[in-house]
Amino acid sequence: MSDNRPLGIFDSGLGGLTVVNAIKQKIPNEHIVYVGDTARVPYGNKSVQLIVKFSSQITQFLLEKDAKLIVVACNTASALALPTLQNEFNIPIIGVITPGANSAAELTKNNKVGVIGTIATINSKVYQKELFKINPLINTISQACPLFVPLVEEGLLEGPIVSAIIAHYIKNLDLSRIDTLILGCTHYPLLKPAIKKYINNLMLIDSADSIAKEAYLILKNNHIINDNTKQGQQDFYVTDSPSNFANIARRFLGYPIQNVKTAPIS
């Protein structure tokens, strides 16, 4: 029987829209409810306790929207809150870390992988631990890039300021050693054209496509897939004013969205 309950997807802000886009491409008939915690972005410089609290609040909100699967489309929340969410809530909940690590492990030729992400994600060493579990021979070089999320949230994707900030962070990675670079934040793909100018021919990994495949398999294996042939609807919520969200969301999604609502989460 077809299950038309929505997928719940959340992020600290807009970055998770890259995951929305990938899921829409992979399983276009699924309904999606997206929450961007724009009032409290970024998560990357906050404590573990706060990130767990925020993630639990949003998960509860998505359950009230009758979500059948929740995707934590935020690397920081996936790194620090996912185990708590999976223990606390009786629903399939997946994060973006494992799919990204699996892709990097498959693609690296010299077992040397770079990771860029928020301060919280990098300090958690979650990608290093995940890659070690997959292949103990992989060496990981990490760099926190705390200014990347504010750049994307402000719509600053190119220009001298963006170039200077990228150069500042990338110089701390040993590009002569690594052959693969994980974009350890769902905001970062929007900076991909600018980042590519500084990383030679490294393989760039973002986990949106991988997590879309994982979501599809979970829906199929649990018999909760929506078999309706009509394209699924999308509902967007933010925790702050929705006015600016729609404008920036168009850059992520490639199409305009309307009727962004404010979620009563605080």
Q: Give the active site residues.
A: 74, 185
Q: Are 12 and 119 in contact (CB under 8 A)?
A: no
What residue type is assigned to position 67 of the chain? A
Backbone dihedral angles phi then psi of residue 205, each to the nearest 5 degrees: -115, 125
Residue 129, number of CB atoms within 10 A of its CB: 14
Structure tokens at 89: 């809530």
Percent composition of the chain: helix, strand, coil (DSSP 3-state, to 5): 45, 15, 40
Place of tokens 């992400």: 117
CA 117 to CA 79: how far, in whole Å?
Answer: 11
Q: Which residues contact 219 (CB under 8 A, 6 or more apart)?
A: 3, 27, 30, 68, 69, 225, 226
- H helices within the chain, ranges in order? 17-26, 48-64, 75-80, 82-88, 97-107, 119-124, 126-134, 148-153, 160-170, 192-196, 208-221, 243-253
Structure tokens at 238: 């933010």
Structure tokens at 168: 């500042």
CA 124 to CA 118: how far, in whole Å?
Answer: 10
